[in-house]
Chains A and B, each alone.
Chain A
C-alpha cells in the first residue's frame, strides 16, 4: 500500500513567503495560516479510507516537489494560443506555473468582474473576503487544505444581478516546469445573472513531474444560471487534483461538464448543493483513459431543499491497461420532498487489462421523491461492430465510430459547440483516427 508522506516544502515559511510576495491583506494571510494548521492536523488519505480505496495514491504524491515559482518561459506557447483563438471566449486568463501571464478582456460592461484572483483580492476585497473559502474550506480534505494554504493564483468572476454574459469567460492553465502548483477559482453569479466559465488545463511536453491542485467555488444566488466546463488535457507528466463545488439558491441552475483526457492521473470531485427550492443541477462527465492513465471521479448531488432537480451522467471509455473510478452519491435530506434526482455511469472497456469501478450510491431521507441510478460496463457491442463491418468498414474504423457514438450522448448535451468540437478532436486523436492529431 502506498503511503503518502509530508513534504518539507509545504511549510509555514512557504505560506509566509507566498503571502508576502503577493502583498496580501492580513485576513487572507491568517486564512492561509489556519489552512496550513488544518493541513498539518489532517492525516494523509490511505487506501483504507472508504473515499480513497480505489485511488492509486502514489500517483498523487507531492513528495519532493517544490512549489512552482513562475514559468521558465512566460509566453503563452502555441497550444494555448491556438486554444485562445478557437474558444470564442470573451475574457481569457492564462496561468502558467502559478503566475497569471496573460489577461484578455473584451468586456467591461455593466459591472462584470473578470480578474485574476490576486488582483481581485486587492480591488474587490469585500466581495472576495465574503465568498472565498465559503464553499470549499480547508476542512474539505488534505489536498484541499493544501490548496487553501498555498494557492498561487486563479480567477475571480462576479456577475451582478440581472446581467447575462452570453459568451464564455475562460481560464487556461498550463505549465512548463515540474513541481507543486495550486490554483483557485471563485465564481459569483448574483440574482438572475448568467455566466459561462471554461476551465482548461493543457501543457506541452516538459521535464519533471507536476502536481496541480485546483479548487473552484461557485456561488449561485436566486435565479442565477452558470455553465461550467472543465477540460483537463494535461501532458502525461501531470497529476491533477480538482474539486468543483457549487452552492445553489432558490431557482438557480448549474450545468457542468467535467472532461478528463490528459494527465498521468486525475481525481476530480464535482459537488452540487441545492440549498434553495426549485434549483437544478446537471452534471456531466466524460473521460477516455489510455496508456495506463488513472482517473477518479466523484460526484455529490446534495438535495438540501425541496422541489430541486439534479441529473448526473458520466460516461467513459478505457484502454491500454488504464483505470477509471466513478463514485457518486445522491443525498436527499429529510424534508427535501418532491426531489427529482438521477445518476448514470456507463463504461466502455476496450481491452482486457483495463479496469473500471463504478459506485453509484443513494442516501434518501425523504419519501416523496423520484430517484434512480444506473450503471453499466461492457465492451463495444459485437453486433454493432459486426453490422458496421458488414457495410464494408474496417474494424478500427467501426470501433472509432462506436466509441465516438458512445461518448456523443454526453457531448450532445453540451451547449458550447466550440468546446464540444475540441473535446471530440482530442478523443479522436486518442483513438488514433487518421489525420486528427495534426489539428490539435
Chain B
C-alpha cells in the first residue's frame, strides 16, 4: 500500500478548502418546494410564477421547451442513456424567500454548514472580490466587496439581475447562446434558475477574482444555472466557478449556460474547476462573444462528474480579438470527460489558442472535441491547437476529434496532438532519488498539467494539484 501523498507546502493557505475524497458531507434534505419529476409546461409555469417573472421570460421559457422537444438529444458523443429526464427534479427551492442574502448568518444552518466545509466563507475573506453560492436550484448567497460596488460593478444572482436591471438584462440575455443552439441549452433556457449576473462598467478593472460555488445536495436533481457576464469596453475581470455534489447512488444532472459578452478592449477570464461527484451528468454550454481588441480566456478543469460534455467557445467578431481555451481533464474509472473548445474567427486579425491536456486512468475515457472555423473575410487569422493525452493504464482510453474548417486563404492554422503513457524512465529516476512511486507519478502528472495550472491564481493551482493527488491516490496497485 502506498503512503498518502504529502501535503502541499502551500496547503495552509487553503484552510478548509481541501476536499474530502468521498464528499461525505451529505446533508438531510428539507426543502421549501420540490417540483414533480420530469420536464413539462407545468413545471416551467410554476418556476416562473415562483420567481414573479415578467411575461416575456415565461414566453421565452415555453418557446425553449418547444425547441427542446423538437430538437431531441444529440446523436453524437458519450453515452447518455443513464440520464432519464422523467426521473429528474427540474426545480428544487431550498428556502421560502426569493433572492439572496449577503450575510452567511441568514442562510439556514444546514446549508451554511455545507459551504463552511467547502471553505467558501474563508476564501471569500482572503482572496476574492465577491462570492455567490448556489444550492440546488437557487442562489442562496451573493456578496460583493464595497470597493467594487462603488465603481458600479454588479454581481448578483441572475434572478435578481432580471428584477433589478431589466434593461441591461433583456438587451444581452440569450444573445450569445440562444435556445436554438443545442438541446441542452434549450432545456436550460426552459428551466433555468440561479447563476450569476455580472456587469463590469467601462474601464473598471476588477483585479481579484469573483467566485460562484455550485452545490447539489438532493438526489435526482437537475441544476440549470444561467450566468450572464457583460464586460463593457476596457473592463477587466476574472470569474471562477466551482462545483460539487455529495455521492448518491442515483444520478443527478447539471446543465448550465454561461454567456459572456466581452466588449471592445475588455479582458475577461472564466475559470472552472469542476469536481462534481461521479454520478453527475455535466452538460454545459459556455460561450463568449469577443469584440474588437478584446481578450477572452476560458480555463476549464474537468475532474469530477460521470459524463461531462463541455466545449467552451469564443466567437471572435471584432478586429484583433483574441480567444484562448485551456482545458484539462482527468477521467478516472467510469468517467467520460468529453471536453474541448470551439473558436469561430469571424473578423480580421483575430487569433486563438487551444491547449488541451487530458489524463485517463483505470477505465476512464477522456475526449477532446474541438472546432476551429475561419470565416471568409476573416483575413490573417491565426489559430493553434495542441492536445496532449496521457494514458495511465492499459484500459484507459482517449479520443481526439478536432474539426478544422477554413474558408480564408490568409489563415494560418495548426493542430497537433500526441498520446503517450507515463514515462517509466522518469518514474525510475525519481524513485532513485528517494521519491515513492505514487508521489513520482503524481509529480509527473502535475508537470504534464503545469502549462495550464500556471494560468490559475495560486490558491486554485494549489487546489488543483491537491485534487489531482487525491485522484492519483492508489494508482500504484
Contacts and interface: CB of A to CB of B under 8 A. Distances in A.
Contact of B399 (A347, A354, A363, A369): A363
A143 B418 CA distance: 34
A358 B404 contact: yes
A50 B74 CA distance: 11
A23 B402 CA distance: 49
Given A364-B399, A374-B416, A378-B411, A357 B421 contact: no
B69 interface: no
Interface in B405-431: 405-421
A375 B406 contact: no
Given A353-B376, A367-B421, A369-B419, A377 B404 contact: yes
Contacts of B97: none
A366 B76 CA distance: 22
A179 to B, nearest CB: 34
A158 B333 CA distance: 48
B80 to A, nearest CB: 16
Contact of B416 (A54, A373, A377): A373
A371 B405 contact: no
A368 interface: yes
Given A356-B406, A362-B417, A50 B76 contact: yes
Given A367-B392, A367-B421, A378 B412 contact: yes
Contacts of A374: 414-417
Interface string B229-243: 000000000000000
A368 B406 CA distance: 34
B406 A362 contact: no
Interface string B384-415: 00000101111111111111111111111111
B145 to A, nearest CB: 46
A347 B408 CA distance: 12
Contact of A362 (B392, B395, B396, B399): B399
A376 B415 contact: yes
Contacts of A355: 405-407
Contact of A357 (B376, B405, B415, B418): B405
Contacts of A369: 391, 419-421
Interface residues of B, number: 34
B389 A357 contact: no
A362 B415 contact: no
A107 B180 CA distance: 64
Contacts of B400: 360-363, 373
A357 B404 contact: yes
A359 interface: yes
B276 to A, nearest CB: 25
A373 B407 CA distance: 22
A416 B407 CA distance: 35
A208 interface: no
Interface in A323-355: 334-335, 337, 347, 349-355
Those 10 A-B pairs whose CB atoms lie nearest each other, nearest first = A367-B391, A362-B400, A358-B404, A375-B415, A371-B419, A367-B421, A349-B409, A372-B418, A355-B407, A377-B413
Interface of A: 50, 54, 334-335, 337, 347, 349-379
27 contacts: A334-B394, A347-B406, A349-B406, A349-B411, A355-B405, A355-B406, A356-B405, A357-B403, A357-B404, A358-B402, A358-B404, A359-B403, A360-B402, A361-B402, A362-B398, A362-B399, A364-B397, A367-B391, A367-B392, A368-B394, A371-B418, A374-B416, A374-B417, A375-B414, A377-B411, A378-B412, A378-B413
Interface of B: 76, 376, 389, 391-421
